[in-house]
Amino acid sequence: MRLPISAFALPFLALMPFLASAATPLEIWSPGGTPLRAQREALDAADLPPVVRPAVRFQKTFLKILAGAKAGEWRGEMESFCGASADTPMAAGLREVARVWIARAQMDEMDAILRGYYRRNIRFPATLAELGELIPRSLQKDPWGEAWSYSPAAPQGFSKLAAQRYQLGPARVPKLATLAEAIRERRPKPRAWTITPREAAGKMALEFHAGQSIAVIQPGGVIEGCTLLFIGDKWALMAGQDQLFAVAF
């Protein structure tokens, strides 16, 4: 019998039971509700297959970000995921999620440059080209190697005050939330899926019923913007735009 589940509406254990017993993947990769310290300790105690170890390393770095660590304390770790050459579904999925966090760190650096320009000119530049050599080589492209999406703007309701605000983001996610916003406002989009294990080309796959659509995917496949990274025993690990989460089936 198939039962619909919500990928982000999973039950949480109380803190003491959570620490007293081995945590399940659903608890480790919960979208919220469990103290960060408890999640970190659960990651160390979890008995997970070796293929999932990179995801555990990613989650520890992610929890560090949520705890308010400075970008310099976690950026190197995220860059290691971005630079991974492996072409497995796990490596590719972690690379994309890590790029989102690196983009946010870079956006903070760009913000400092743009504000410096503003102090001198009482406006933001019409294009990033106006900044010239103020933009270091490391920031000239977004983490995907593409030109930044940038445009000056006016404050809401003050259309005549042009170039007093700006919009900046990576080309693939032009309206990406800033680092501070992403940490402060973690409201993952609820997803109601019915998930059934299947077999495709002799390998395990998952069938997702999402609204009126049905998709059968293997690790590396995408459903509603989320990538399937790993299929375990009655659970699967997935990557959203900027975090990992587990689902049961």
Output the average pLDDT for the chain.
Answer: 87
In whole angstroms, give the CA distance from residue 13 to residue 17: 6
Average pLDDT score over residue span 207-219:
92
Q: What share of the chain is helix, strand, coil (3-state, %, to 5)?
A: 40, 20, 40
Top pLDDT among 98 and 46 is at 98
In whole angstroms, give the CA distance from residue 5 to residue 3: 6
Question: CA nearest 239: which of 249, 60, 223, 32?
Answer: 223
Q: Both tokens of residue 160?
A: 């005549």
**Contact criterion met (CB below 8 Å) for 230 and 195:** no
Q: Both tokens of residue 21?
A: 């017993």
pLDDT the model gives residue 22: 63
Question: CA nearest 192: which of 239, 231, 144, 247?
Answer: 247
Top pLDDT among 27 and 248 is at 248
The helix (run of H) or strand (run of E) holding residue 44 is helix 36-45
Backbone angles phi, psi at 87, to 5 degrees: -110, 30
- 125-134: long-range contacts, CB 8 A cutoff, minimum separation 24: 125/152, 125/163, 126/152, 126/163
Give the three-state DSSP class for 160. coil
Q: pLDDT grade, residue 44 (50/70/90)?
A: confident
Q: Judge whether residue 131 has pLDDT over 90.
A: yes
Q: Judge whether residue 20 has pLDDT over 70.
A: no
- Other C-beta atoms closer than 10 Å to the C-beta of 187 total 8
**Contact criterion met (CB below 8 Å) for 182 and 198:** no
Q: Enter the pTM of the model.
A: 0.86
For the ranges 37-46, 105-114, 143-152, 170-179, which has the lowest average pLDDT? 37-46
Q: Judge whether residue 125 has pLDDT over 70.
A: yes
What tens digit of pLDDT does each residue of 180-210 get? 999 998 776 778 899 999 998 899 999 999 8
